[in-house]
Amino acid sequence: MDTYFNFNRFLLVLQRDLFENIKSALFGILTVLSIFSFILLMTTFDTNQTILTEFGNRLYLIEFWFIGIFFSGMAFKEFRNKEKSMAYLMLPASSLEKFLSTLFLTTIGFFISYTLFFGIFNLLNMGIISSFSETLSLELYNPFNQNVWSSIMVFIPVQAIFLAGATTFKKVPLFYTVLYFFLFMLVYGFVASLLLKFYTGKVSIGSIGDNNGIIYYNSGDELSRSDINDILSIQTFMFFLSYLLAPIFWVIAWFKIKEKEV
């Protein structure tokens, strides 16, 4: 077991990854936060209170996605340089520990540090706006709200895809991941619509029945329970896909690291 995972060794890899990437990570976070804060402040005096509050509220998620995807898509930078790659592969730790360290930093580590810095910038923006305007004010943003959690649930599978992309593409992985991601979505959308058509025919969701259940119709005829089960199995499949997508791509990323070893 110690060959595959050792907690102390994992902490050492985490420490190494943190120290070697902290400068560029902080630079990235602070740059994006500064740019968006600048835009926010520049538009402050040309806008009304409602837009300002909405913009302020959305800013957290816009920047979160922007920076989060960038970090994940550019992770494992060692593999894009021959000498760095050699040093990384010779580090006495298992590929699982190396993978988990990067996964931790690009998910939980990123969420904590980003939220912290966003909070600081939020307070600074609040101070600047209130000192220049008596009528306008920016609310302190609470990142622990339902919108953020829902967004994170969507962000995680996307993060996994970009992390897998970072281990797959040697040059500009972010660009190629975006490209392949869109191609995949196109193919996926096409296949999914074909599957739905094949399974359900011309299904339409109808009225609410007497027992408050939804009545489904197929070309005007009410669907039987077995037909509905067919549809539900697709929904169950879609549900599992949403939850399995992230682990699947994380496993792909880990296997890609193992592949680089050989």
- The footprint of another protein (CB under 8 A) covers 2-3, 6, 9, 12, 15-16, 19-20, 23, 81-84, 86-87, 89-95, 97, 261-262
Q: Residue 194: which residues within 8 A CB-CB, separation 6 or more?
A: none
Cα(98)–Cα(28) distance, integer angstroms: 22
CB of 139 to another protein, least distance (A): 39
CB of 241 to another protein, least distance (A): 34
| Cβ distance to another protein smaller for residue 10 or 162 | 10
| Cβ distance to another protein smaller for residue 227 or 260 | 260
Q: How far is CA 256 from CA 65, 69, 75, 106, 122, in A?
A: 24, 19, 13, 17, 39
Cα(71)–Cα(114) distance, integer angstroms: 12
Q: How far is CA 159 from CA 18, 60, 64, 105, 202, in A?
A: 19, 17, 11, 12, 35
| Cβ distance to another protein smaller for residue 86 or 185 | 86
CB of 93 to another protein, least distance (A): 5
| Cβ distance to another protein smaller for residue 82 or 202 | 82
CB of 97 to another protein, least distance (A): 8
Token pair for 180: 């392949």
